[in-house]
Amino acid sequence: MKRLNCRVMTDSSYTTSNYVVYSDASATGCGAHLDINGEQVRNKQWDLEEHRKSSTWRELSAILFALHSFLPSLIGSYVKWFSDSQVHVKSYK
């Protein structure tokens, strides 16, 4: 099985995630989905200044927006994050 955009970010390969988050950005806005006790969905439209920024900025901002939106639920948890962007992936050893 081929895995795309996958990076392990914990010291233990036995750690399982408590939550799953999906995020995405477009030219007009961003959205995120957290699967917890039913679903939680957050979205926002970019203002004119944000709309003009690079797609890399928008993808990273979508992740930051999701983190801020779901922070109370995610504190102290392991999270599995899905995004269609490779710009945010960092490898930890």
Is residue 10 assigned to a domain? no
Is residue 3 assigned to a domain? no
Beta-bridged to residue 41, according to DSSP, are: 33
Q: What is the number of domains present in the chain?
A: 1
Is residue 11 assigned to a domain? no
Q: What is the mean pLDDT of each run of 10 residues along the chain (93 residues)?
A: 50 66 93 84 94 92 91 84 69 35
Quick one: pLDDT at residue 40? 85
Tokens of 34: 């957290």
Is residue 65 assigned to a domain? yes
Beta-bridged to residue 21, according to DSSP, are: 34, 81
**Domain range enclosing 56:** 20-37+48-83
Quick one: pLDDT at residue 72? 87
DSSP characters over 21-57 = EEEEE-SSEEEEEEESSSEEEEEEE--HHHHTS-HHH
pTM: 0.73
Is residue 56 assigned to a domain? yes
In whole angstroms, what is the distance from residue 89 CA to residue 65 CA? 16
